[in-house]
Structure 1
C-alpha cells in the first residue's frame, strides 16, 4: 500500500463524487419509468446495507485492503486468486466508465473526434494523477467539490425557473405495481451506483481517523443518493416518461431545453464540465483500486510502476468492450449486474464476512 493518509472530509468528497459520477449521466432506473426515483431510493437503502458488510470487514482488518485480507480469510492461494479477480473487476469497471464518458463527448461536442483519442486523453490524465499519489487525488477532489456542487445547484434553479418542470409526468405512481420497481432495484440500482462502494475496500486503510469511516461513507452515500433521486425526478418531470426512457443522456437533454428570457440558453457546456470532473474521479478510483490491488498481489514496491501498462489495458478495453453505444448500454444493464456486480459486490463480501466472523470468534475463544 502507498504510504498516504487522507482526512475524513476528503473521503466524504471522494464518496460523493464517485457515487454521482456516471449515475447522473445515464437514465438510472429507467426500466421503472416514472417510478424510477422509488427504485433509486430502494437502491440507496440496499447499498447502505451492503456497505455495512464492507465496514465490518474493515473493522476486522483496518490496515489492509480487500486483496490482502481475503488471503488471511480464505488462505494464501485461494485469496490471491480472488484478489486477482477483484483487480480484473476494478479495471473492467474503469474501462466501462471510460467508455461512457467517451461516448458522451464524441456524440455531443467532439463529433468528428475518434473515441480512442478522447479516452486516451482521459487515461493519460488519470495515470498522471496516480503517479502524484492518492493524497493529491483526494486534495483535487476537495478543490472541485464545491465548484461542482455550486454548478449543480445553479443548474437545478435554472431548470425550475425555465418552467420545464411538469409534476404530472410523475403520475400515476405505481401504475404497473411494485414489480417493475423491485426488478429495477435488484437488477440495477442496488449495484449501480451504491454497490460500487466495494471499490472503497481498497481505499479505507488510507483514512487517518478510522472511527469516522462509517458515518463519513454512509453520509456521502445518502447525499449522493438524494442528489441522484432529485436528478431523476427533474428528468422525468421535464422530459416525460417516454423521452426519459429513450434518451441516452437524459440530463443533457433536460439541460439543453433551458431557455430563460431568450438570453440564458445553450448551457450544455457546463453540464459537460460537471460530468468530465465526475467521470474523472470515478474512473480514477476504480483504476487506482485495480493498480493498488495488482501491486499488492504481485508484491510491487511502487504501484506507480504498474499504472502505465494497466492504463493501456483499460484504454484498449474501453474501445473494444462493445461495437457501439447501444450494445455497451445493453451489456451494462443486463449482463454486468448479474454476472459481475452481484458476485463481487454482494456474494463474495458476504461469504468473506461469515468466514471472518467465525475465524475471529475462534481466536477470541482461544485467547
Structure 2
C-alpha cells in the first residue's frame, strides 16, 4: 500500500481547501462582511469535518468508499458509495471549467481553451499514473514556493499603499442575514465539506494517531489564508467592486505598483491560480481513481488515468456556456444545496448515527 506522511497530508489539505476559492473570493456576495462569512463557515465546516473524523474512528482502516457498505450493507451501501467518485470526477470538470473561463479572460485571450486545458490534463494524468505517494512528495516540494509567493504578494500590496481599512465598516449594517446567505450552503460545503475526499487517503497515512490533529490544523491554516485574501480584496477594492468582480484577487494583484517598477504582476497571479487548481483537480481525481479501483476490485489502477483525464477534459470544455451560469446558475442554485449538502453533510451524519446505534446494539448483545 502507498503511504504518505502527516506533513504531506497537511500540505495536500491546504492546497485542496485553497483550490479555486482564492480565485473567486470566498463569500464575496456578502460584500464587506465576507470575512465574517469565512469565520462562520470555518466553524460550521469544522463540525462537518468532525463528522468525517468520527467515522474514521468508528470504522478504522476503511476508506470513504468502504464506510457505507460496512454500515448499511452491500445492497444499500455500494450504490451510495458509487456517488462519491462520480461526484469527484464531475467537480474536477468544474474546476477545469474555472480555468477555461479564467485564462482566456486574463493572459491568453487568443489561445483555444482546448489547447491549454489539454496540456493541463496531460500533467494531471501523469500525476495520477504515479499515484498518491509520488504526488505527496510533489506537494511537499512545491509548498514553500506557493506559500512564499503568497507572502511576497501580501508584502507588495502593503508596499503599494492601496489598502484602506475604512472599507471594512460598517460591519453587518443589514444584519446577520447577509452573512448567512454566503455561509449556507455554499460556504460550508465548498472547501470544508469537500474535505471528505481525504477520507479516501486517511488509511494510507503513516502516523494514524495524528490524522485528526493534522486535518484540523490544516483546515485552520487554509482558513487563515482565505481570510487574509478576503480582507485584502475588501480593503483594496471596496465592497462594491469586490462583490461585483468575478476574479477579485486577480484584480487586486493587478493594482500592485511600487515605484512604477514592480507592477503588471497579473500573469504571475494566474500562474499561482493554475497551480492551486492543479493540486485540487489531482486530489479529486486521485480519490476517484482509488475509489473506483476499490469498488470494481481492480488490481491495476494504471489503466484509469487516461480515460479519467479525457472525461474530465470533455466536461470542463462543455459543462456551461458562461461564467455566470457556471457559478450562479449551477454551483449556487443546484450543486451546493442538492448534491453537496446530501453527500457531504446529511449522508455522513446519518451514517455516524447508524454506526453508533449498531455499536451500542452489538455491545448490548455481548453483555447477555
Q: So what's the TM-score if we normalise by structure 1? A: 0.97
Q: How many residues align?
A: 365
Secondary structure, counterpart of 2:21 in structure 1: coil
Counterpart in 2 of 1:247? 245
Greater CA drift, 116-125 or 340-349 = 116-125
Greater CA drift, 306-315 or 279-288 = 306-315
Match of 2:262 among 261, 264, 287: 264
**Per-residue deviation at 1:105?**
1.3
1:99/1:119 contact within 8 Å kept:
no
Counterpart in 1 of 2:113? 115
Secondary structure, counterpart of 2:126 in structure 1: helix
Counterpart in 1 of 2:62? 64
**Per-residue deviation at 1:304?**
2.2
Counterpart in 1 of 2:273? 275
- Partners of 1:65 and 1:311 lie apart in 2 by 23
1:1-367 alignment to 2 at 5 Å?
Answer: 3-330=1-328, 331-367=330-366
Deviations 1:206-242 (A, max 9, x none): 1011110111010000010011011001001101111
- Partners of 1:73 and 1:155 lie apart in 2 by 48
Deviations 1:264-320 (A, max 9, x none): 001122212221211111001111111111111111112222222122111111111
- Partners of 2:227 and 2:135 lie apart in 1 by 27
| CA RMSD, Structure 1 to Structure 2 (Å) | 1.1
1:322/1:328 contact within 8 Å kept:
yes
- Partners of 1:116 and 1:59 lie apart in 2 by 43
- Partners of 2:3 and 2:192 lie apart in 1 by 24
- Partners of 1:210 and 1:220 lie apart in 2 by 16
Q: So what's the TM-score if we normalise by structure 2? A: 0.97
1:11/1:138 contact within 8 Å kept:
yes
1:4/1:135 contact within 8 Å kept:
yes
Deviations 1:77-130 (A, max 9, x none): 221100111111111111111111232112111111122222221111111101
**Per-residue deviation at 1:29?**
0.6
Secondary structure, counterpart of 1:190 in structure 2: helix
Structure 2, unmatched stretches of 5+, are none
Secondary structure, counterpart of 1:305 in structure 2: coil
